[in-house]
Amino acid sequence: MEANIIYPTNKQAQCYLRVCQWLSNSYLDIHLFRFDPQVGSVYILAGDELEIIVPSDGEWYFL
């Protein structure tokens, strides 16, 4: 049985880089980065309690 593998989209990858650059410029540590292939979203945990989601459309938002 072959599983359908989902990869990050180009828009998603570019958005992830922009968010990480913003976090870095703000001197916030990035504690966790996770791509969930079942949902197709990127999860970022940064600073003390910032949680950011980047869905496949490349538009990020706070959780």
- CA gap 43, 49 in Å, rounded: 13
- The band of 6, judged by pLDDT with boundaries at 50, 70 and 90, is confident
Average pLDDT of the chain? 92
Asked whether the predicted pLDDT for residue 1 surpasses 70, the reply is: no
pTM of the model: 0.86
- CA gap 47, 38 in Å, rounded: 26
Mean pLDDT over 19-46 rounds to 94
